Amino acid sequence: MRAHWEHFSHRADMGVRGCSATLAGAFEQAALAMTAIITDPAQVKPAERVDIRCEGGDPELLLVDWLNALVFEMATRKLLFSRFNVTLDDGRLGGIAWGERVDREKHQPAVEVKGATYTALRVNRLPDGAWLAQCVVDV
Amino acid sequence: MSRAYSLKQESEFSWRLEASGNMRVPGIIYADETLIRGMDDKVFEQLCNVASLPGIVQAAYAMPDAHWGYGFPIGGVAAFDADEGGVVSAGGVGFDISCGVRALRTGLTVDEIEPVRERLANALFRNIPVGVGSTGLVHLDDDGMSAMLKGGARWAVEQGFGNPADLQYIEEHGCMAGADPMEVSPRARKRQADEMGTLGSGNHYLEVQRVAEIFNRRIADVFGLRENDAVVFIHCGSRGLGHQIGTEFLKYMVLAASKHGIELPDRELACAPINSELGRAYLGAMRAGINCALANRQIITHLTRQVFADILPAADLTLLFDVSHNTCKLETHPLGSEMRKLYVHRKGATRAFGPGHPDIPETLRAVGQPVLIGGSMGTESHILAGSETGAGLSFNSACHGAGRAMSRHQATKRWRGRSLVDELAQRGILIRSPSMRGVAEEAPGAYKDVRAVVDAAEKAGLAHKVARVEPRICIKG
């Protein structure tokens, strides 16, 4: 399957969903879906690199950790991300995110993400063998 | 609403979900029939889940603006007894700890503002940091951060932001007791480094409004409100620090649930016994988060006063009140024939103490606590007062806002920010925002009718309507 992301509806906030042939790919796509809540990812240059590590817990807890680590990096470095690389190894996640500093004129950021939640949290294989990773994020 | 939940109508504005299955207490929803029909089934599911938590007393409540939240419904109220194994829940407070609304009188009528309204809008937009990536003027080192987390708005006043007289019109007199800055992680502190005195984004705003209608003249007189008065509403919370505390403790509570023997019907309901190390740590951190929100609104008040002083020197900005709507507070409430100390969670719900309550400032005590209800950008907000009956109905709680009627995604498909700004300008409302997409997502039509919500709150006996206010200037994240 072609890797892709989408948003799903949550009345007050938004759900992010990533799908890919691999679990790591689904995590990357979910991260892209999160950026798309804030701005158009195509407008974000992958110029600066940030390394991220998360560990422990099941794949669902790891997804929330990964997204929350990105929220933290976005908030404290004032960055937006548009490219991601995730490797998963025995419950440990190594991630790289590339992005650029928020430019309010260029990016027109709609809303900041406060955190990823455990609501509608799912990481599982679809009948066609592809991976899905999703949860609701609080905005 | 589907037929999956059997709701029993108890009165015109009260509905009951009988305790069944794992529920320890019933669920009670205050709403009219239209609001109930419009509620997502998830509200009832979440209310039943809350009702099943250890140590919950009396009932799990949903306010008229209730909608699907995380674990707890937004618009949810639940009280727990620590001595009966009661719990505290990070999801029951929410990510934006102590998000709330502050209302200021200006000492001016809107007619006095009209000639300089455009200038005022531009100056407020220029001077009050708003939107994604904005930074505040106050940067705290670690000791300064700890002092702020301990002192709240009182700390802010000591630093020169506002007046000591402001403090009595803030819940907890501006300083939440029991805050433990040591429980606030370095990451949470780092997230706040640039965010003191910023409004944030999403549904947060600062508005200059006109008192359009008085519903209860006796109470309005005590609140110092007359028709055509200009007032200011500030809606924001504890910024990155609160979000990070919520994020971290939610995870700790998920991981520790089985250790505490708590079976979670939904991970987002993550909680810990009040009498446990984790429960106490969260309470200490969450209270520090409350102080951060109170300090934040105090700094923004100071910035607002500076702008007014520059453009309208005759203005005198005084606090009507400051309410928080994402909290857990230890309060004394009647339960059966005795008074009990309870940990009351209000998630998207406003405390609404009735007349005579000792925690209301003396000048307002005879009429009840001001309850400030923010509406959507182009519509209206409301000022209510706590009622005599609220204590028995909902642990003195009322609604907090309009609640969304459609998702952000749907809203951007339907509206364009620029045309909304033009349309609202024609109706006499000046919008200033760094993001046109943000404006579209906050389109007035994307929210429920706030009037229906406050009407239901009044008719259910939760609070009295006092005044309706309409926006003239809106600074929007």
CB contact under 8 A, B267 and A115: no
CB contact under 8 A, B441 and A111: yes
Domain of residue A33, CATH code: 3.55.10.10
Contacts of A117 in chain B (CB under 8 A): 70, 95, 250, 268
Amino acid at B99: C
Contacts of B94 in chain A (CB under 8 A): 138
The answer as to whether B46 is a domain residue is yes
A59-77 and A23-38 helices, crossing angle to 10°: 40
Give residue for tokens 């817990």.
Answer: A57
3-state class (DSSP) for residue B116: helix
Mean pLDDT of B310-333: 97
| Full residue range of the structural domain in which residue A118 is found | 4-138
Tell me how many domains chain A contains. 1
pLDDT digits (tens, 9 = 90+) for B280-311: 999 999 999 999 999 999 999 999 999 999 99
| Contact assessment for residue B267 and residue A121, using Cβ atoms and an 8 Å cutoff | yes
Tell me the C-alpha distance between B421 and A91, whole Å: 48
Contacts of residue B33, defined as CB under 8 A and 6 or more positions apart, other chains included, come to: none
CB contact under 8 A, A64 and B68: no
Mean pLDDT of B335-353: 96
Mean pLDDT of B164-173: 98
A122 forms beta bridges with A134
Q: How many helices (H) and strands (E) does chain A have?
A: 3, 8
Residues 45-84 of B with CB under 8 A from A: 67-71, 74
- Work out the number of other CB atoms within 10 angstroms of the CB of residue A102: 21
pLDDT digits (tens, 9 = 90+) for B219-274: 999 999 999 999 999 999 999 999 999 999 999 999 999 999 998 888 889 999 99
pLDDT digits (tens, 9 = 90+) for B66-105: 998 888 999 999 999 999 999 999 999 999 999 999 999 9
The answer as to whether B414 is a domain residue is no
% of residues, chain B, pLDDT over 70: 99
Residue B409 among the catalytic residues: no
% of residues, chain B, pLDDT over 90: 88
Average pLDDT, chain B: 95
Nearest CA in chain A to B94: A138
Domain of residue B173, CATH code: 3.90.1860.10
The two structure tokens encoding residue B213: 């209608």
pLDDT higher than threshold 60 for residue B342: yes
3-state class (DSSP) for residue B175: coil
Q: Is the ipTM of this complex over 0.90?
A: yes
| Full residue range of the structural domain in which residue B190 is found | 8-405+447-476
- Pinpoint the alpha helices (H) of B114-238: 117-127, 142-158, 186-192, 217-223
Helix (H) or strand (E) holding B476: strand B463-476
The answer as to whether B423 is a domain residue is no
Handedness of CA B190, B194, B196, B198 (dihedral sign): negative
Query: In terms of C-beta density within 10 A (0-12 exposed, 13-18 middle, 19 or more buried), how is residue B82 classed?
Result: middle
In angstroms and rounded to an integer, the radius of gyration of the C-alpha atoms of chain A is: 14
The answer as to whether B62 is a domain residue is yes
Contacts of residue B125, defined as CB under 8 A and 6 or more positions apart, other chains included, come to: B432, B475
CB contact under 8 A, A75 and B191: yes
3-state class (DSSP) for residue A18: strand
Nearest CB to A111 within list B267, B403, B438: B438
The answer as to whether B439 is a domain residue is no
Cβ–Cβ contact A68 with B under 8 A = yes
Closest-CA distance, A107 to chain B, in angstroms, reads 9
The answer as to whether B278 is a domain residue is yes
Tell me the C-alpha distance between B387 and B389, whole Å: 5
The answer as to whether B438 is a domain residue is no
Predicted pLDDT of residue A90: 87
Predicted pLDDT of residue B124: 98
Tell me how many domains chain B contains. 1
Confidence of residue A56 (pLDDT cuts 50, 70, 90): confident
How distant, in Å, are the alpha carbons of A10, A114, B152, B318 from that of A137? 9, 7, 28, 37
pLDDT digits (tens, 9 = 90+) for B14-40: 999 999 999 999 999 999 999 999 898
Helix (H) or strand (E) holding B44: helix B41-51
CB contact under 8 A, B201 and A112: yes
Nearest to B355 by CA among B383, B384, B334, B386: B386
The answer as to whether B3 is a domain residue is no
% of residues, chain A, pLDDT over 90: 85
Kindly name the residue from B235, B243, B400, B464 that is annotated as catalytic: B400
Nearest CA in chain A to B267: A118
Predicted pLDDT of residue B28: 98
Best of A77, A105, A118, A122 to disrupt the B interface (most B CBs within 10 Å) is A118
The two structure tokens encoding residue A54: 């998360």
pLDDT digits (tens, 9 = 90+) for A60-97: 999 999 999 999 999 999 999 999 999 999 889 999 99
